[in-house]
Amino acid sequence: MASATLKTTSKGQRFYEIRYHAKDAKTFATRWYVPAGWSDKAIQRELARVSAEFERQCKAGDVQTRKDRIEAEEAAKREEAKILTLRQYCEKVFMPQITITATENTRSNFQRCLDLRILPALGDFKMPKITPAQIKALLLSIQSEGKSHATVIKYYTILNLIFKDAFMADMIPQNPMYKVERPKASKTTAKSEKTEAFTEAELAHIEDCLAHEPLKWQAMIRLMIDTGIRRGEACGLKWQYVDFEQNCITVAGNLQYTKDKGIYLDTPKNGKCRTIFVDHAVMGLLRQLRLEQSRRAISQFVFTQDDSPLPMHPQSPARYLQKFGKKNAIDHLHPHKLRHSYASVALTNGADLVSVSENLGHSDSAVTLRMYAHANEESRKRASATMREAIQRARANG
């Protein structure tokens, strides 16, 4: 026999939870909300009728348990997914998930990669019909166009996420990415990427050239060289996070831009704030910049648009460095190369890996080690040379 328990919602609405326990141990449940203004006698009479009807439906097999209903819905979704194209799957499932779980910048990058290459090549194929050969052909096509290895890996990563997600949700019977190897960099690409850092002498030359540039750019570029912070972190730096007494800055924001959202301030890439100690000379430039800014347009941001309190566009440092590099005959000058150079110079001159990793804002030092392996090689060479020199000195003194 069905049982009924009076309950109240969070908004104060009364209802009866009606439960029926079948002989096969399954429990069925429903709700009957009490109409306003009814007498107790009318409520009990109607409740008895609703409970009896619910019990009859349960015995007749017309009602599903919540578990059965969920399983049926999931089965229906799986069946529907079997006929989805890659385009439909990305629009209905994958990108909505990315929108919720990832940053706006990541979502924008994923959507751009989908629109540019992935969907034009594979979008109209049914998900279960896409083969490893088709995916390999797409990646080879991107690689053959001379795109950087990092760009090819980005496409591989997105495809891997799409098909792994679909496979784990039983939307496809097998994951084609299991048979697609991670693309390897060509020898020419690997060689060029290995040397993507300035030497100490080159950085000194850049700093000398900066002496003739506007104060804003002197301060920003010197800060990027000295700390290795990302361009978005530099653009998003606020005065409240500049400590002139301790000569340090706290990286608490990352200024980003997407076509859909425009310019917005996000958290640092790894989601954590970090404090970095800064050279006295650079802090001196920041003091001068603050004084100069106070005479024009006071802002909470350290680096702003000309004669405006608004932060500069996060692409502005890259555009400026391109012009600056051309004017001073400095090849391949861009913000990330300065970041890379910070790590390379620091590691090859004895800085410990953990500290460099923390200053860069990497999630762990293994990321730093992978990205700047060549710098680590130089450190190991120097360590070996130091050991041999010590032995030679001992022999000479003996």
Per the DSSP assignment, residues forming a β-bridge with 132 are none
What value, to the nearest 5°, has the Cα angle with vertex 245 and ends 240 and 247? 85
pLDDT digits (tens, 9 = 90+) for 313-340: 999 999 999 999 999 999 999 999 999 9
Q: What is the rounded distance in angstroms from the CA atom of residue 319 to the CA atom of residue 104?
A: 22
Per the DSSP assignment, residues forming a β-bridge with 324 are none
Q: How far is CA 169 from CA 79, 96, 160, 165, 309, in A?
A: 11, 15, 14, 6, 48
Each residue's pLDDT, cut to its tens digit, for the chain (398 residues) gives: 789 999 999 988 999 999 988 877 788 888 999 998 999 999 999 999 999 998 898 888 888 777 777 887 887 777 665 678 999 999 999 999 999 988 888 899 999 999 999 999 999 999 999 999 999 999 999 998 888 888 999 999 999 999 999 999 888 999 999 999 999 887 655 554 444 789 889 999 999 999 999 999 999 999 999 999 999 999 999 999 999 999 999 999 999 988 888 899 988 887 889 999 999 999 999 999 999 988 887 899 999 998 889 999 999 999 999 999 999 999 999 999 999 999 888 888 888 888 888 999 887 787 777 767 666 566 666 666 666 677 678 768 86
Q: Is 174 helix (H, G, I), strand (E, B) or coil?
A: coil
Tokens read off for 34: 């009490």
Phi-psi region of 146 (alpha: psi -120 to 50; beta: other; left: phi over 0): left
Q: What is the set of domains in the chain, with CATH numbers?
A: 3-63 (no CATH), 81-193 (1.10.150.130), 200-379 (1.10.443.10)
Q: How far is CA 267 from CA 110, 118, 277, 304, 310, in A?
A: 19, 29, 20, 19, 18
Q: How far is CA 67 from CA 2, 28, 32, 73, in A?
A: 19, 10, 20, 10
pLDDT digits (tens, 9 = 90+) for 160-213: 999 999 999 888 999 999 999 999 887 655 554 444 789 889 999 999 999 999
